[in-house]
Structure 1
Amino acid sequence: MDFMVLVLRCCSLFGILFAGLAHGLEITSGGSTSIEKASMESVKLDCQFTLAPEDSGPLDIEWSLLASDNQKEDKVIILYSGDRAYEDYYLPMKGRVHFNSADPKNGDASINLTGLKSSDTGTYQCKVKKAPGIRSRKLLLTVMVRPSKPRCYTEGVSVEGKDVILKCVSSEGTNPLQYTWEKTSDTKLLPASAVLDPTAGTMNVKNASAGASGTYRCTVKNRVGTEECIMDLRVTPPRNTAGIIAGAVIGVLLALILIAIILFCCCRARNRKKYEKEISYEIREDVPPPKSRVSTARSFTSVGSQRSSLGSMSPSNLHEYALKPQYDKIPSEEYERPPSHAPPPPGKMAGPNLSRMGAVPVMIPAQNRDGSIV
């Protein structure tokens, strides 16, 4: 009897438990809990639920961004409480997060997040509460940045016989980035000596030949996007180094010749100036300067004035004027004669000397003491 009572009680207890499990609040969304999206795209975070008759309390829905560090606080991004949605609760996502349903109490607590940014990456939790039931679901969202348009260029010189390196670089993009090279011209086959690095985005063409010339395309991609760039490669023949060296040598020789000519001209001009200076010194030392004839010229001027005066005198006065000793001195060459020839005494110059000097015998008028002609 006691055994039968115990069995009935156990059966009733298991019935209550199974009834609660079958008819209580449940999150019914399935599928992957890890989502990858590209930046600027939109994503739907799914959270479907069902209610049981015994869940009679008010319905509350809360979405939060869980902190990666346990020391930090979780960020609530959107709420539904008291039959009202609070969508501008989290400022960094203001205007970008909305409930998928206009009436979430019908069992759809999903949200839509638009204009994704790399900072939106994280773990999101959907929590549905309707007393006495409480359920939650977590989803991992990874927002990846598409690769930016890469830049294609060559590193070093593109000369035959040298190694030519083609580089492809994308400045933005979430790793891992994968680079591939292909030739789009001629045979569309990469050079046999090409070595590719899909991570660094380089293609090294060793010992390049003219056949490596052509058009190449580089493609970069990650899990959310693809971009590409195109470049032309022209492998040129090596330069004529012998001609370049010969030209350089000729240029140096011409420069040296020009410098030598300039130095020669400078030295010649300096010697000529020195020679002219020495000649001027010899002239000053060997040839005395000519004697001054200022006194002689003055004397002749005086004689000329006397002659003009005499021409206006009367014959009666000429005799007295000739007797005056201060007017009987006529310019002579006594200053130009050597010292051995003594000049005649003053007032006693002979007639022949006067005639040789071009003098004309005249009568000298007499004068009184104040110099007037009498």
Structure 2
Amino acid sequence: MEFVGPRFCCVIFALMTGLASGLELAITGPSTIERASGQTVKLECQFTLGPDDLAPLDIEWSLLASDNQKEDKVVILYSGDRAFEDYPVMKGRVHFNSADPKNGDASINLTGLRSTDTGTYQCKVKKAPGVRSRKILLTVMEKPSRPRCYAEGPTEVGKDVMLRCVSAQGTHPLQYIWEKISDSKLLPAIAVLDPVGGTVNVRNASAGVSGTYRCRAKNLVGSEECILHLNVTPPPNTAGIIAGAIIGVLLFLIILAVILVCCCRARQKKKYEKEICNEIREDVPPPKSRVSTARSFTSVGSHRSSLGSMTPSNLHEYALKPQYDKIPSSEDFDRPPSRAPMAAPIFTAPAPAPAPRVAGPNLSRMGGIAVMIPAQNRDGSIV
């Protein structure tokens, strides 16, 4: 009986306070709401006033902090018959549902929802001496982004083929659903599906696994899908590829060797021809006509020059020798041959006989070449 008295007093005080204030909140609308990002949501808060609630009406909506060490953030406020909506938490995206909230409608509308808007919202109505509040949990979910479908690893017969489906954005939990949309429209019997990870594992794949697959990623607020065309091919002929590569390398080396041999032979041939051109052959006869005639005329000139250097002592001996170097003139060819008597030896030095002259045209017909002979004085020296 000792504990009954205080409890009974508290109940009586609460009833008296509630009857005295007369302020009540109507429980309308859900206390937990889930919406997708970008959508609009209405948070319900209806109230009724009593005749004893004479103080000014204040309505405050706030976003409660998840950590007790942080402060709650005011979203919108109604006080003194005026609405204040320029708080930075949801500036420009929150409005009262009613143009005059004091009529009993303190509900608000949130537009352009974002994932950061997720939290617990509290509606507090004050009209002294009455105070009432209500909490609503809002979860803003993000729709899955378009997933990416691909095959991981080699897609060959006899290999393990892994199909993956990944959505980069979206509020968890996400669920992935794979299905085959070609041929039998059934996943292979040996396929292992992971709806949370979004994978399909096919062990020891065969050619029948090939086809078109579709993956759909979804959550509570939406879904997206992607298409994958899978082609399982036979394994490549590794031995044939290696043999072909070896043959190609050998052919390349052979062609390169042939090119080098041809270049060396061409270089040797060119060097041999150059040496042959510079070599003097001993079995080749000397030139006859023009070169011999020119030499005869040159020797005649040399004899003439030597005559100028003779003294009277050796001039007699030279006169006794037959003149084989004398060139016949045109008069000698016209005159018949005759035997002239041998001249008697004299002891005086005769005057040097003038050298026979040959006409220019005759000299050219005979193949001779004109040679310039330097002049000499009586002493035999060159002028």
Summarize the Cα distance change of 1:359–1:216 in structure 2 as closer, same or farther, 3 Å threshold. same
Matched, 1:128 2:128: no
Select 1:350's aligned residue among 322, 336, 354. 322
Partner of 1:193: 190
Alignment of 1:1-374 (within 5 A): 17-22=14-19, 24-30=22-28, 32-87=30-85, 89-273=86-270, 275-276=272-273, 283=279, 300=297, 350-355=322-327, 364=354
Q: Determine the C-alpha separation between the residues in 2 that align with 1:359 and 1:197.
A: 130
- How far did residue 111 of structure 1 move? 0.5
> C-alpha distance in 1, partners of 2:267/2:78?
105
Q: 1:292-336 deviations in whole A, cap 9, x for unaligned?
A: x99x959959999xxxxxxxxxxxxxxxxxxxx76978xxxxxxx
How many angstroms does 1:145 deviate by?
Answer: 0.7
Partner of 1:318: none
In 2, Cα distance between the equivalents of 1:299 and 1:46? 143
Please give the TM-score of this superposition, normalised by the length of structure 2.
0.70
Partner letter of residue 353 of structure 1?
D
Please report the RMSD computed on the Cα atoms of aligned residues, expressed in angstroms: 3.9
For residues 59-83 of structure 1, give each alpha carbon's deviation from its aligned partner in whole angstroms, at most 9, with x where no partner exists: 0101112233334332212111111
- 1: distance between equivalents of 2:201 and 2:170? 24
Q: Which runs of 5+ in 1 are unaligned?
A: 1-10, 305-324, 330-343, 370-374
Choose 114-123 or 257-266, whichever is displaced more: 257-266
SS in 1 for 2:121: strand
Deviation of the 1:13 alpha carbon? 10
Structure 2 portions without partners, runs of 5+: 1-7, 309-315, 333-352, 356-374, 378-383
Identity between Structure 1 and Structure 2 (%): 65
Which amino acid counterpart does residue 147 of structure 2 have in structure 1? Answer: P
* Change beyond 3 A, Cα 1:15–1:65: closer
Number of equivalenced pairs: 318
Deviation at 1:246, TM superposition (A): 3.6
Tell me the equivalent position of 1:321.
none
CA 1:327–1:72: 2 relative to 1, 3 Å:
same
- Give the direction of change, closer, same or farther, for the CA distance of 1:70–1:148 in structure 2 (3 Å limit): same
Residues 199-254 of structure 1, C-alpha deviation per residue, up to 9 Å, x if partnerless? 22111211111111112110111222111112221222333444433422321221
Give TM-score, length-normalised by structure 1: 0.72
